[in-house]
Amino acid sequence: MLWNIAFRTLFHDRGKLLAGLVGVIFSVVLVNIQGGLFFGLIRKASLLVDESNADIWVGHRGMHNVDFPHDIPERWIHRIRSIEGVQEAQPMRIAFSEISLPNGGHEGTMIVGLKPGTDLGRAYEIQQGPQEALDHVDGVVVDVCDDAKLMDPKIGSVREIGASRAVVSGKCYGVLSFLVTPYVFTTYDRSVEFSGGDPTMTSYFLVRTEPGVDAQIVCDEISRRLDDVSAMTSEEFADMSINYWLTRTGLGLSFGAATALGLLVGLVMVAQTLYAMVLDRISEFATLKALGSKEAEILLLLGAQSSLVAIVGIVIGIALSVLIRFLFSTPRAEIMFSQGLYAGSAVIVFVICLAASGLPYLRVRKVDPHSILQG
């Protein structure tokens, strides 16, 4: 009888049930999309590190973000190459400059200088142009997603970077900076011409360890031999770069506030729906109490109703989130989902729905069971 009333109460007014489902679906979609956008955005902060093919990053002591390096002497790399367990070590330059535009204007860029003949630091895959695009005289590689900023450069287009001639010899896809400045990849030596830097200095040393070697042990040895550098595994430096933007900006707070607001809306909609359903059939709850139903059984009934609404809403919400990602996710506004995000959103919304059943319970527990007998 108890479960019969639970489902009759829930499905009696399909309009109210639909409103509750909409609240749950809205909350699930918002949590997943907000979370996916957040992870997609913050991933850009460590993109160069994640895709560098390096096991260790070495930079100036106190380095905290891959996009803001401090120069170190290039000659120090010989000490690193002599360390046992180091298979390969290459320098890498990162510097700000400007690229000329066809309309006479300029756009700020971030020059990434890479050593030829190695994949260390090569965070891109060529989508347009030859695979060895940087072998072209004055060649640079830009990202297709930055076409609007760079006024749609074609393969072979001639531009000027830092008062030096540059030729767009290749294009990659999806390698975007967390900052508004586009990445421009070029050779290590050419990067000095484009940025006007000191040719004896570099930004980072990228290290690949031999198979089976503990990268942390190599980091410790690098730090012992070179007092003025910090050596970190790629995972550590990627986390540090992400943490830099999380702590220096209100990014996490803004995304979290928007998500919390969505959860609040879902909570209110589910609670109002269940409360309205209870009011419509309050006499049946009074009958249950008159027949001897315990408070725990009434609460279990309301919890079962909330659980059913939550489960159906979560399934539909996750399906809609996947569809939205498929239709709208781009490298500029990437939506990154993970199993953890799906599970987290489901658990949070489910718990909120259970909490929402407390509102109608407060009304039911005040019902006098004798009122049904008097009626």
How large is the average pLDDT for residues 123-127?
Answer: 92
pLDDT, tens digit, 9 for 90 and up, residues 327-374: 988 887 888 888 888 898 888 888 877 777 776 666 667 666 665 555
Tell me the average pLDDT across 252-280: 71
Contact 17, 338 (CB under 8 A): no
Q: Which of 24, 41, 85 is nearest to 311 (CA)?
A: 24
Classify residue 179 by its DSSP letter: S
Q: How far apart are CA 49 and CA 21, in angstroms?
A: 42
**The whole model's pTM is what?**
0.80
Token look-up 């506030």 returns 257
For residue 207, give the nearest of 176, 237, 177 by alpha carbon. Answer: 237
In three-state secondary structure terms, 323 is helix
Residues with Cβ within 8 Å of residue 201, at least 6 apart in sequence: 71, 72, 73, 74
Which is nearest to 175 in space by CA: 253, 258, 114, 91? Answer: 114
Residue 293: name the closest of 304, 282, 285, 302 by CA: 285
DSSP code of residue 70: -
In this prediction, residue 53 carries a pLDDT of 94
pLDDT at 222: 95
When pLDDT is cut at 50, 70 and 90, the band that residue 227 belongs to is confident
